[in-house]
Each structure stands twice: as structure tokens, then as C-alpha cells.
Amino acid sequence: MSVPLHAVCLRSQRVCRRSVAAAVSQCFRHRDASVSHFSHSAGLSAQTCKALVYRTHGDPSRVVQLEGVELPSLGAKDVLVKVLAAPINPSDINMIQGTYAILPDLPAVGGNEGVAQVVEVGSQVKSLKTGDWVIPKDAGLGTWRTQAVLPEEDVISVPNDIPLVSAATLGVNPCTAFRMLSDFEDLKPGDCVIQNAANSGVGQAVIQIAAARGINTINVIRDRPEFTELSDKLKAIGASHVIKEEALRKHEIKELFKTCPKPKLALNGVGGKSATELLRHLQIGGSMVTYGGMSKQPVTVPVSALIFKDVKVRGFWVTQWKRDHSHDGRAFRAMLDELCSLIKQGKLTAPACTEVGLQQYHAALDTAMQPFISTKQVLVM
């Protein structure tokens, strides 16, 4: 059975990176059912890899299966890569469930993020060489697999002397944090940012990047038995203040603002009442940027915040940013270089990760879907 992995058709935008539907249909009818055939070129080799494939949307633990996948022959502008590690992100789960903003044609391979090592390069490849580490430039590449043949233009190199999990988790959360801290307000050392979901992957990246820039962070997390332990952990990576959500409505927040300026920027990954409370504490003219909605509740904006404080309410999706800048890779390259520099300096570390072998994918998917999970599941090939 066949699945063209990297040639993803995005239903929501009706955009195909390659015309593959006919080829997929042919592969399903005429190929050995024990092997899937991922192809973006006419010729197929006998080389195969293992991949986590889903043929229908639904519960990931039920619809995802580990299968053999046939690799296409190497084209002149292609690279053969060995996938080293790939995380399981909420967006990956949502894509399998069929609830994400972009969905690949089915069948498909899971995973939008990860790091791979170049094993072989085509005769016309110029930017990459054997041994280089690469990450996807865009979502939909299908990283939950052991190997892939990919167009040179679909990946970008990263240093191979940074920690494996840092490289594998570099393309989504740190990039999201970097852009939100850079693109919405002119933040200077001494300024303040407030965020909910501070223990998330994005939240931890925000803390560390902000600290490296001399920016204060007020970090809001839900109350829990291990609150003090978690607070200490976030402060150890650079958090200026860590408070419970209830504190946003109590006198202690006023006490905090006696020693800390009101935030110019609020980062919302939760939605609902939590987002409304962030808005209340923005300084006049400040911005709230929403990048997630873990509560699955709408963002309510008080009229008074718009009229009397002139707050700006924005949204951010790193996938769209990457596509908007795909015509000129310099901005993406510069961002990755700065993030990798922070990693090398020990100023940006990956969130707590649990490395899981590909064969144990069922357990990893089940764990990734649990509420209040404290570690990110990373598939190691």
C-alpha cells in the first residue's frame, strides 16, 4: 500500500506540494500490501524504511501503525536522510485526529518535527553534504520514520554538535517563542512579558530567550501539588516570577507590579478566562498574542481593555510564518543560528523529554495524550 509522505496535499488550503494522488491510488491497487510506497519520483528502489502510518483520522493509539515503507530512488536534487529523533507534539496528535488546520491526504505518516542526518546527496545538491543534520522547513514532512528521500529544498541544516533532543525539538516551540518575542512589541532589557502555559514547550523557550535578552517574565501556571517544585524549576531556567492563575485576580499581583513593570506583551496558549486575565494586566497599548488554546475556550476581550487601554489582540502560527518567508530563507536561517547559539551557550535547553524507541510508539502516543504531562515524548529511531 502506498503513501507519498513528503508530498502533502493540504486540504484546508487546497494546495499540493506535488501531484501525487494518482500515483498513490496506483500503488494501493498494484503493490504488495505489506509495504507502503512513499514516492515523489517515478523510479522506485527496493530500499525500505519503517514508518508510523495512519490511513484514517481518529484516536492515534488505534489508527497509527508501524509499517514498512518503500523509498524512492535518489534524484539529482534529493537527499537520503536517516531520521535520528522526532517528538510527538500536540499538533501531531490533532493532525491524526483530523482537527488540525492543515491535513495531509491519507494515508500519511505522522510527525511534523525532528532531526535527521544526511546519508547521501544527489548530484545537484549544493547546500548539504553527507553527515549534516537537517530539520524540516515546513509542516507535513512526516518525521515518524527511520529514513526518507527528500528534496534538498524541504530541509535546512542545523549544527550537529548540539544535543539531539534540542535539535529534534528546535523547529516548532523555540521558533514560536523567538518570533513572538521579536515581532509584536519592541522589547528592551528591563521590559516585562506575561504568559500562561509557562511550563509548556513554548513557555519554557520564552523564559529562556527572554532571560538571554534581559527581559523579565511573569509566568502563570495552574495550581498543583508540586507547584513549588515546578516554580523552582522554571526559575532555574530564567523565570523572573512564577505565579498561580488565581493570583492574577488577587492583591499579590499588585504587589508584584511595585517591583516589576507592567507587561508590554502577553502570550496566550490557553484561552478562556486565563487569556482575559492576562489582558487585564497589560500596559496601555500592549499586545496579547494567542498561539494556542489548551482550554478549548474562546478568548473574551473586555470592551474596556480595547477602549481605555488600546490593547492589540493578535494571533501567531509558526507554520504560516515559515510559509510567508519561504521565498527568502535568510530570516529562518538567522533565527535558527541565533537559537543554536543560545543552545551552545547553555542558555536554551530542550524541555524535559522521554526518549522512546520507535517500536514503543503505542506507549509514547498514549502518554503524549495524557493531561498534565510533564515530559515530551521523543521517538528515537
361 is catalytic: no
- Give the CA angle between residues 11, 16, 17 to the nearest 5°: 135
Are 269 and 291 a contacting pair, CB within 8 Å?
yes
Q: How far apart are CA 2 and CA 14, in angstroms?
A: 21
**Cis bond before residue 60 (omega within 30° of 0):** no
Q: Which has the closest alpha carbon to 54: 27, 36, 29, 30?
A: 36
Catalytic residue among 54, 100, 291, 361: 100
What angle separates helix 330-344 from helix 173-183, to the nearest 10 degrees? 110
126, amino acid identity = K
Are 267 and 180 a contacting pair, CB within 8 Å?
yes
Are 33 and 127 a contacting pair, CB within 8 Å?
no
Backbone angles phi, psi at 327, to 5 degrees: -70, -20
Torsion 70-73-74-77 (CA) sign: negative
Provide the greatest CA pair distance for the chain: 71
**Regarding beta strands 155-158 and 133-136, do their DSSP bridges make them parallel or antiparallel, or are they unpaired?**
antiparallel
- 324 CB neighbour count, 10 Å cutoff: 10
Which residues are annotated as catalytic? 100
